[in-house]
Amino acid sequence: MSVHDARALPPTLADVAERAGVSRQTVSNAINNPDLLRPETLERVQDAIQVLGYLPNRAARHLRTRASHLIGLRMLPAQEFTANATMDRFVHALVEASREAGYHLLLFSGGPGKEETTAADLVRGYDDLLRSTAVDAFIVTDTYLGNPQTRWLSERRAPFVAFGRPWEDPDATHPWVDVDGAAGVALATGHLIERGHERIAWVGWAESSFIGQDRRAGWERAMAGAGRSIDGLAVGVADTVAAGREASAALLEEVRPSAIVCGSDTLAVGVLHTLADRGLHPGRDVAVVGFDDSQVAQVVPGGLTSVRQPLEQVALELVRALEALLAREPYDAAGTLLVPTLAVRGSSG
Amino acid sequence: MSVHDARALPPTLADVAERAGVSRQTVSNAINNPDLLRPETLERVQDAIQVLGYLPNRAARHLRTRASHLIGLRMLPAQEFTANATMDRFVHALVEASREAGYHLLLFSGGPGKEETTAADLVRGYDDLLRSTAVDAFIVTDTYLGNPQTRWLSERRAPFVAFGRPWEDPDATHPWVDVDGAAGVALATGHLIERGHERIAWVGWAESSFIGQDRRAGWERAMAGAGRSIDGLAVGVADTVAAGREASAALLEEVRPSAIVCGSDTLAVGVLHTLADRGLHPGRDVAVVGFDDSQVAQVVPGGLTSVRQPLEQVALELVRALEALLAREPYDAAGTLLVPTLAVRGSSG
DNA sequence: CTGAAAGCGCTAACAT
DNA sequence: ATGTTAGCGCTTTCAG
């Protein structure tokens, strides 16, 4: 690979054609339909491509084929710490997954500013990219916020796939991939039951979010499956460290659970604080499990056992769905539900 | 904003021109050189644009103007936790900053795989995007790895700006923005000195990285400025929690510092582990300061005081430099050094 | 199997 | 101040 001055214009099809002694379309065919060429010609063209370091001009190709090979992903402003970390891990996974499919990720941000957030503003970023034909499709991540994006994109018949179930709209027909939160929490709860815990409490979100309900359902299911009562063992609060701390303090006073399953690592960290306050040892005195396997779970003393979302797999499935969608191939499953794993660490014994 | 079927082709210049009763060029001028139009005509054209929901086709514009308005950013695979979190915060900031300048971020990933990492592989992503004219410029973040990117891009005369000083090549002429790690650590150390600490130890990286040396220099400078000896108070280890834990345990045995400044939050977490092991209270018995203001620093019980990089400002400066570069405007300063702040929490008293 | 012609949507350069 | 012409680099007809 020779060092080629980037200010000089890159070689074009015509340059390659001239060097190989063929016409431009033959070069085009060599790239897009190599089977059409006689092997001998093909090799000659490929040599020329190699020597010149030719790569098709994306703008020209995009203009002609109406395919940018770009996927739009909206980055929300920094949020609650656990949610953000998950998103960031997801972006990494997505970059890899889309690369293998020949796509690049185009990042854009929310509305025009924090001040006004009308319905139109909420979809502005999507709308602009769509109308300027900047991306081939979107990957939508914030389906749970109850915002109008998915519906708007559907109505507009814009190609997109979602990370997250269409909770509020069971009739939605777009492809989606989600992680089975209930299964993850059931896994965590089962793990604690196996370890002999009887009174396993739940500290989750107060907001009646679908995700929160889903995760809690996993705890209930596992408890019921083991014939355990859940009376007074559940509490719902805001998703903050302070709330987790207070809620767990009250639980320890009142129902004295031997283990606590949390709806998020944020809440679990709050529980760990409470244990520290009282000189209790996580895992020995009270077992604790979080959700999301954040960095905090990994470095906290002794480690925090946590449910880990298979984001790499989510990314892979999403890109696969997107490819099918853009190729107008029949898409067999509307939605895919992936099962998380449990990262077991000291806090569960 | 009417809901427009995205499968139908978006309106073009010609559509707007027809509706406004002008030529295509006039519409183009209305968008790019509105001053050339008579106010009356301009308004008519703008109305038509509004009604049709017209936005210029990016591929066509890109092809014609040779400007994609895309900035390439390479995402490295997940790394040590602190470094990753910083990168992710930076990406968020960059999305915002570039939006305001009319740019979007194009994410791409490292080499073709983990197996082979030849020199050519290391720049493959950059090379491909450059040759296919996919991006206008790059923002390079991993200048400290000693990899050939910056030099390669320079030789190739590809437009780029760097987050990070050209440590190894003082003759480099590309624009860069960096955070003054030494100043940050000096700030932290000064903070501890103010609080009356005499024996302030340093736990940093063993690897002779420039960044590590820079940060350590800040500690040395502050200590010297206050007339404190640093004899036996510095230790360099790998950037892991375990290493920070062991190093601090040894320090506490041998030189009994009253405060410990760390080269990273990772190391600081290790120090916190050691304190917990010995029943010591961070901030009361031994003060601890980290670097990077990671999420862990924020949620650890009592909180971890930490040096915070002004990444939002870094992003802003980088985009500003990039705009100047692409406009071939004179760039006054080759490099900009920004000063971090200190997020004070319980661990420093 | 290869080549010639047309055109994707836009803007730069030149007419008027 | 507005219109006309040409062409950015590519692929998709359609002929040979």
**Domains of chain A by range and CATH?**
3-55 (1.10.260.40), 70-179+312-339 (3.40.50.2300), 181-309+344-348 (3.40.50.2300)
Closest CA to B272 of B231, B242, B292: B242
Whether B120 and B113 have beta carbons less than 8 Å apart is answered as no
Cβ-nearest to B130 among A6, A99, A106: A6
Q: Check pLDDT > 80 for residue A143.
A: no
Q: What is the mean predicted confidence (pLDDT) over B226-253?
A: 96
Residues within 8 A of A (CB atoms), B 178-237 only: none
Q: How much is the average pLDDT of A11-38? A: 90
Q: Is A253 on the interface with B (CB under 8 A)?
A: no
Q: What is the pLDDT of residue B245?
A: 97
Range of weakest confidence among A109-113, A147-151, B52-56: A109-113
A4 pLDDT band, cuts 50/70/90, is: low
Using a 10 angstrom Cβ sphere, with 0-12 exposed, 13-18 middle and 19 or more buried, the burial of residue A316 is buried
Q: What is the mean pLDDT of chain A?
A: 91
pLDDT at B63: 95
Nearest nucleotide to the CA of B29, by C1', is C11
* CA torsion angle A165 A169 A173 A177 (round to 10): 0
Predicted pLDDT at B184: 98
B26 CA, D2 C1': separation in Å?
7
Out of A45-54, A70-79, B3-12, B149-158, least confident range: B3-12
3-class SS string, A192-205: HHHCCCCCEEEEEE
Name the closest residue on chain A to residue B245, using Cα atoms.
A301
User: What's the confidence (pLDDT) of residue B4?
Assistant: 66
The band of B1, judged by pLDDT with boundaries at 50, 70 and 90, is very low
Q: Which of residues 127-186 of A touch strand C (CB under 7 A)?
A: none
Taking the CA atoms of B152, B153, B157 and B158 in sequence, report the sign of the dihedral they define.
positive
Q: Which of residues 137-196 of B touch strand D (CB under 7 A)?
A: none
Q: Provide the pLDDT confidence category of residue A1 given band limits of 50, 70 and 90.
A: very low
User: Could you tell me which of B108, A173, B129 has the C-alpha nearest to residue A162?
Assistant: A173
CA of B110: which chain A residue's CA is closest?
A96
pLDDT score for A88: 87
Per-residue pLDDT, averaged over A97-104, amounts to: 95
CA atoms within 13 A on the CB side of A9: 11
Going by DSSP bridges, is the β-strand pair A104-109/B104-109 parallel, antiparallel, or unpaired? antiparallel
- Dist. CA A228–CA B182, nearest whole Å: 57
Higher pLDDT, A171 or A5: A171
Lowest-pLDDT range of A118-127, A164-173, A278-287, B164-173: A118-127
What residue in B sits closest to A68 (Cα-Cα)? B59
**Closest residue in chain B to residue A52, using alpha carbons only:** B131
The model's pLDDT over B149-202, given as tens digits with 9 standing for 90+, comes to 898 999 999 999 999 999 888 888 899 999 999 999 999 999 999 999 999 999
Residues 64-123/B with CB within 7 Å of nucleic chain D are 64
Mean predicted confidence (pLDDT) in A152-172:
91
Q: Does B276 touch chain A (CB under 8 A)?
A: yes
Please identify among residues 42-81 of chain A the ones whose CB lies closer than 8 Å to any CB of chain B.
Answer: 53-60, 62-63, 68, 70, 75, 77-78, 81
For residue B119, pLDDT beyond 90: no
The predicted model gives A264-275 an average pLDDT of 96
D7 closest protein residue (CA to C1'):
B64
**Cross-chain CB nearest to A241 (options B54, B95, B299):** B299
* B193 Cβ contact list (under 8 Å, min separation 6): B200, B222, B223, B226, B228
> Residues of chain B with pLDDT > 70: what percent?
93
- In this complex, the answer to whether residue B69 has its CB under 7 A from any atom of chain C, a nucleic strand, is no
In a mutagenesis test of the B interface, which of A75, A76, A245, A311 is the best target, namely the one with the most B β-carbons within 10 Å? A75
